Amino acid sequence: MIPWSELRFEQDLGGGPGGQHVNRTASRVTLIWIPAASEAFSDFERRRLTEELAHRITQAGELRIRSASERSAHRNREECLSLLATLLAHALAPRRRRVATRPTRASKKRRREDKQRRSDVKRGRRRPRPDD
C-alpha cells in the first residue's frame, strides 16, 4: 500500500524485556511517515488521514510509531508496521451515518421531571417573599 521509499525507520536503545541484552543493542524501532506527502493515497484519503490522525502527527507533519516491546529490532519493526496498518484501516474506514430517532415518551418524561427538580432546587434558594 505505502511504498517503502516513504517509510523511514530509526533504531535506538530501548527499554522493556531483555535484561542486559536490551541495554547493549539498539532494538527500539521508530517508524516515521509523512501522510501529507504520500503518493499512495488520493487527495481525499490524505486529507482524511491528516484529520483522523491529527493527534498523532507531529508539527513537522510526521506520523511516528515507536515500539520497544520485543527483544529484537526486527520484531519491533514488524509491530510498528502492523500498528501503522491498523491506524490506516481505522482512519480510512467509512464513517457510519447516525440514524435519526425520536425521543421516547419515557425519556421526555424523565427530562421534564429533571427540569422540575432543578426548578424546585433553585426556587428553594430564593429569598422568601413576604406573602409566603
CATH code at position 29: 3.30.160.20
pLDDT the model gives residue 71: 82
Quick one: average pLDDT of 90-119? 96
**What phi and psi values does residue 67 have, to the nearest 5 degrees?**
-140, 130
| pLDDT, tens only, 27-56 | 899 999 999 988 899 999 999 999 999 999
Burial 2-41 (b: 16+ CB within 10 A, else e): beeeebeeeeeebeeebeeebeeeebbbbbbbebeebeeb
In a domain, 22, yes or no: yes
> For the chain, how many structural domains are there in total?
1
In a domain, 120, yes or no: no
For the four alpha carbons of 70, 74, 78 and 80, in that order, the dihedral sign comes to positive
Q: For residue 30, list its beta bridge partners.
A: 10, 66
| pLDDT, tens only, 98-111 | 999 999 999 999 99
In a domain, 83, yes or no: yes
pTM above threshold 0.75: no
Name the residue among 55, 57, 49 with its Cα closest to residue 85.
Answer: 49
Instruction: Note down the domain range covering 57.
Output: 4-92
SS3 9: strand
In a domain, 103, yes or no: no
In a domain, 101, yes or no: no
